[in-house]
Structure formats: structure tokens, C-alpha cells
């Protein structure tokens, strides 16, 4: 891998040396990111599925009749698709030692989207929590509907936590890129 900074005399650019230990650290770091992205995917997908299959015994209690629950479903489904894409990118990077996009684009893409989707999940699940809280009086008749809504919202919050940790790791990569000119921390 070549450094983006040329020598002061205008000659060729120098090459970075990566030892076997630093490559192992990089693979371990990328594998850790993959685990957090996989966890965010699983919890967001589970939340979307729980909300999608949530319907009460009567016609009035369906998740799509409530704006907040539609928001919870949509946000979790979007984050599940995004996490699936990021898992694919992480597997690509681990297996080929290269990013899908040019390095600078990949670093900022990951960080920016992690931030946006983490806030989207937090917002959606907070809205769903408030709706579930106001529906507690109606939950005496449709207890399974309310319990399943609560489970979907709780799974969404756990997905947010894993996406938040992924966001911290991608932020660390951005800082490394700014300091070193590479997403590698070694």
C-alpha cells in the first residue's frame, strides 16, 4: 500500500510496511466490526419482523394503523438492509484486504451512514415507546398485541446499541484516516 504523501524532493511515494502482527490486528479489528454489524442486523431484522407480524384479535389493532409503529417497522427494516450491506462490505474487506469503495469514500460512507441510521433507530424506537406507553389502557383487551409491540421496540433499542458501537469503530477509522492518511491504526 502506498502512502498518499510524496517525498519532499518530489520523488516516488514511500510504501508502508505492515508486519504479520499488524495484519492480524487489522483482521481482528475488522472481525470485531463484523460481529457488531451482524448483531445490529439480527436485532433490527427481528424488530421489523415482530412489528410486521403484530396484529390483535380485532380489526382495530394492527401495527399499520398506528403511525409510530409504522415508523418503528420502517426504521428497523432500513437499518437491517443497511447492516446487511455493511456486513457484505466487511466480509469483502476481511477476505480481500481491500474496501468496496476507494478508501476515503468507504471511511466517510461508513461513519456517516452509521450516524444517520443510529439516530433514525433511536428516534423511531423512542416514538414507538411513547405510543406503547399511551396504549397501556387499551392493552387489557389486547395483551398479546401490546407485548409484541414492546418486544419489537426493545429489540430495536438493542439494535441501536450495536449500531452505536459500530459507529464508534467507524469514527475511530475516520480519526485514523485523518491522522495517518489510512484507515489502519497501525
Q: What percent of the chain has pLDDT over 70?
A: 84
Residue 16 above 80 pLDDT?
no
Tell me the average pLDDT across 16-29: 71
pLDDT, residue 60, reads 64
Residues sharing a CB contact under 8 Å with residue 108, sequence separation 6 or more, in sequence order: 174
Residue 14 above 90 pLDDT?
no
User: Residues 185, 29: contact at Cβ < 8 Å?
Assistant: yes
pLDDT, residue 12, reads 42
pLDDT, residue 68, reads 93
38-86: per-residue pLDDT in tens? 999 999 999 999 999 987 665 567 888 889 999 999 999 999 999 999 9
Residue 9 above 60 pLDDT?
no
144-179: per-residue pLDDT in tens? 888 899 999 999 999 999 999 999 999 999 998 899
Residue 11 above 70 pLDDT?
no
**121 grid coordinates:** 433507530
- Across the chain, what does the average pLDDT equal? 85
Q: Is the pTM of this model over 0.75?
A: yes
pLDDT, residue 54, reads 84
Residue 138 above 80 pLDDT?
no
What is the DSSP secondary-structure string of 87-134?
HHHHHHHHHHSS-SS-HHHHHHHHHHHHHHHHHHHHHHHHHHHHHHHH
Tell me the average pLDDT across 107-111: 94
- Phi first, then psi, for residue 8 (nearest 5°) are -65, -25
CA contacts within 13 A on the Cβ side of 146: 14
Amino acid at each position: 500500500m502506498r502512502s498518499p504523501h510524496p517525498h519532499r524532493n518530489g520523488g516516488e511515494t514511500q510504501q508502508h510496511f505492515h508486519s504479520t502482527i499488524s495484519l492480524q490486528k487489522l483482521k481482528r479489528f475488522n472481525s470485531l466490526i463484523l460481529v457488531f454489524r451482524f448483531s445490529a442486523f439480527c436485532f433490527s431484522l427481528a424488530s421489523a419482523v415482530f412489528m410486521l407480524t403484530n396484529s390483535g384479535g380485532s380489526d382495530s389493532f394492527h401495527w399499520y394503523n398506528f403511525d409510530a409503529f409504522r415508523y418503528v417497522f420502517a426504521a428497523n427494516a432500513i437499518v437491517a438492509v443497511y447492516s446487511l450491506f455493511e456486513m457484505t462490505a466487511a466480509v469483502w474487506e476481511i477476505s480481500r484486504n481491500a474496501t468496496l469503495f476507494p478508501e476515503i469514500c468507504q471511511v466517510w460512507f461508513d461513519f456517516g451512514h452509521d450516524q444517520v441510521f443510529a439516530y433514525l433507530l433511536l428516534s423511531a424506537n423512542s416514538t414507538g415507546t411513547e405510543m406503547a406507553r399511551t396504549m397501556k389502557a387499551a392493552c387489557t383487551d389486547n395483551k398479546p398485541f401490546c407485548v409484541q409491540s414492546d418486544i419489537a421496540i426493545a429489540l430495536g433499542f438493542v439494535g441501536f446499541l450495536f449500531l452505536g458501537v459500530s459507529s464508534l469503530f467507524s469514527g475511530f477509522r475516520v480519526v485514523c484516516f485523518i491522522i495517518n492518511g489510512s484507515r489502519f491504526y497501525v
